[in-house]
Structure 1
Amino acid sequence: MNITVYLAGEIHSTWREEVKTKSASLSLPLTFVGPMENHERSDSIGEEILGTQPNNLIKDDIASSINNFRTQVLMEKSDIVIALFGEKYKQWNSAMDAATALALGKPLILIRPENLHHPLKELSRKANVTVETVDQALQVVSYVFDKK
C-alpha cells in the first residue's frame, strides 16, 4: 500500500527534503506532493498564464487563485496532510493549508515547536496528531504500516 502525503507549510526551508530523506531511510511507501516550492514561480504564475497584469493586487489575486486550485487538487488526492509550523517564517500558508485539510476531512499531523503550543492550541485540538519534530511525524506515519 502506498500513501500520498501532502506536505503543507512554508516553502523557504528544506524541511520537505528532510521528510523525504528520512522516510526513504525508513523504507516507508510514501509519495509526496505539496505547494509550488519555487517562490518566484508561485508569485508569478498568474502572469505566466494570463499575461502581465495592471497592478500587484490583481497579479496576487490571479496567482492565489491558481495556487489555491493546485492545493485543492493535490490535497484532495492525498491520504495524509503534514503541516509544519516553524519559528522562522510567517505561518499563514501553514494555517490555511491545515484548515483546508480539516475542511476536506483529511487526516492531519501538525509539526510545531513547543513554544508555539499556545498560539496553535485550537488548531492542535482539531488535528489528528500534533508533534514537535519531523522524526515524530514520521513515527506516526510509520505506525500506520506496523503489523506488530
Structure 2
Amino acid sequence: MDLTVYLAGEIHSSWREEVETLAKEKDLPLTFVSPQTDHDLSDSIGENILGEQPGKYYRDDAASAVNNLRTQVLMNKADVVIALFGEEYKQWNTAMDATTAINAGKPLILVRPEKLIHPLKEISNKANIVTNNVEQAVEVLEYIFK
C-alpha cells in the first residue's frame, strides 16, 4: 500500500526535505505533494497564465485562484496531510490548509512548537495527532505500516 502525503506549511525552510529524507531512510512507500514551493512562481502564476493584472490586488487574486486550485487538487488526492507550523514565518497558509484538511475529512498530523500551543489550540484539537517535530510526524506515518 502506497500513501500520498500533502505537506502543508511554510515554504522558506527545508522541513519538507527533512520529512522526505526520514521517510526514505525508513523505506516508507510514500509520495509527497505540497503547495508550490517556488515563491516567485507562486506569486506570478496568475499573471503568467492570465496576463498582466491592473494592480497588486488583482495580481494576488489571480495567483491565489491558481494556487488554490492546485492545492485543492493535490490535497483531494492525498491520503494524509502534515501541516507544519514553524517558529519563524507567518502561518496563514498553513492554517488555511490545515482547516481545509479537517473540513475534507483528511487525516491530519499537526506539527507545532511548544510556543504555539495556545494560539493553535482549536486546530490542534481537530487534528488527528499533534507532534512537536517532523521526526515524530514521520514516526506516525511509519506506524501506519506496522
TM-score, scaled to structure 1: 0.98
- Residues 1:33 and 2:19 aligned together: no
1:127 — aligned with what? 127
Give CA-to-partner distance per residue, 1:87-106, whole Å, 9 cap, x none: 10000010000001011110
AA at the equivalent of 1:87: E
Alignment of 1:89-100 (within 5 A): 89-100=89-100
Provide the rounded CA distance (Å) in 1 between the counterparts of 2:104 and 2:74.
Answer: 12
Provide the rounded CA distance (Å) in 2 between the counterparts of 1:61 and 1:47.
Answer: 10
Q: Which runs of 5+ in 2 are unaligned?
A: none
Provide the rounded CA distance (Å) in 2 between the counterparts of 1:115 and 1:46.
Answer: 35
2:10 — aligned with what? 10
Q: Specify the SS of the correspondent of 1:7.
A: strand
Alignment of 1:44-63 (within 5 A): 44-63=44-63
Q: Percent sequence identity over matched residues?
A: 64
TM-score, scaled to structure 2: 0.99
AA at the equivalent of 1:103: N
Provide the rounded CA distance (Å) in 1 between the counterparts of 2:60 and 2:134.
Answer: 31
Provide the rounded CA distance (Å) in 2 between the counterparts of 1:126 and 1:101.
Answer: 10
Give the drift of 1:115. Answer: 1.2
Provide the rounded CA distance (Å) in 1 between the counterparts of 2:58 and 2:23.
Answer: 40
1:71 — aligned with what? 71
Q: Which runs of 5+ in 1 are unaligned?
A: none
Question: Structure 1 stretches (4+) deviating beyond 6 angstroms?
Answer: none
Q: Specify the SS of the correspondent of 1:89.
A: coil
Give the drift of 1:126. Answer: 0.2
Q: Specify the SS of the correspondent of 2:119.
A: coil
- Residues 1:104 and 2:100 aligned together: no
1:20 — aligned with what? 20
Give the drift of 1:122. Answer: 0.8
Alignment root-mean-square deviation, CA: 0.5
AA at the equivalent of 1:128: N
